Amino acid sequence: MSYIPTPRQALEVLKKYNRDEFHIHHAKTVSAVMGSFAREYDPENEEFWKSVGMLHDIDFELYPDQHCVKALEILHDEDIDEDMIHAVVSHGYGICSDVAPEKFMEKVLFAVDELTGLIGAAALMRPTGISDMEAKSVMKKFKDKKFAAGCSREVISRGAEMLEMELKDLMDKTITAMRDNPVE
């Protein structure tokens, strides 16, 4: 019988497959950002959104070349709920998965996964970190293809389009979410 893990349970499942602190920190960051978006758009399902964020890269450390494919197997083996599995697998749409994000929550995950990486990298370059960061400064970094080159601008832009949100607005919301929900 499948279940929907709490964010704490999702973290424990994640740690079975991830040891690298970078990957765990990224999962916690995406989870926190997903929780922030949920509070605005779907407050009764905040825990679900956060757990999806926590589990979204469950397979990436062990199987980077089979990302989202192995996630499907792992999450089935862990008896995770099918809706949660669909959300996790859909964040790789057009990159490493042919499962499209359908629900708003899935589109948020698709968009913020890469964006949190870009914002995090930009924050590291600032003496004040994210504390007073504005979307304007992230937009400059967004245009510099050499900066945080691993963060796909195309995916971030497609995510904003899926959400029918201006890129600057998506950045503002994500920056605020990261600032208001710091991850240790």
Average pLDDT of span 19-47: 98
Q: Helix or strand or coil: residue 58?
A: coil
Average pLDDT over the chain, rounded to an integer:
97
pTM over 0.85: yes
Whether pLDDT at 1 is above 90: no
pLDDT at res. 140: 95
Where are the domains positioned within the chain?
A: 7-180
Neighbour-count burial for 5-40, b at 16+ CB within 10 Å, e otherwise = bebebbbebbeebbeeeebbebbbbbbbbbbbbbee
Distance of CA 68 to the CA centre of its chain: 13
Whether pLDDT at 45 is above 90: yes
Instruction: Note the pLDDT tens digit of each residue in 112-165.
Output: 999 999 999 999 999 999 999 999 999 999 999 999 999 999 999 999 999 999
pLDDT at res. 54: 98
- Provide CB contacts within 8 A for 8, sequence distance 6+: none
Alpha-carbon distance values, 40 to 33, 89, 108, 184 (Å): 11, 23, 12, 23
pLDDT at res. 32: 98
pLDDT at res. 15: 98
Burial environment of residue 124 by CB neighbours within 10 A (0 to 12, 13 to 18, 19 or more): exposed
Q: In this structure, are residues 7 and 51 in contact, taking their beta carbons and an 8 Å threshold?
A: yes
pLDDT at res. 184: 81
Q: What is the dihedral of CA 148, 100, 159, 9, to 10 degrees?
A: -70
pLDDT at res. 134: 96
pLDDT at res. 142: 96
Instruction: Note the pLDDT tens digit of each residue in 58-94.
Output: 999 999 999 999 999 999 999 999 999 999 999 999 9
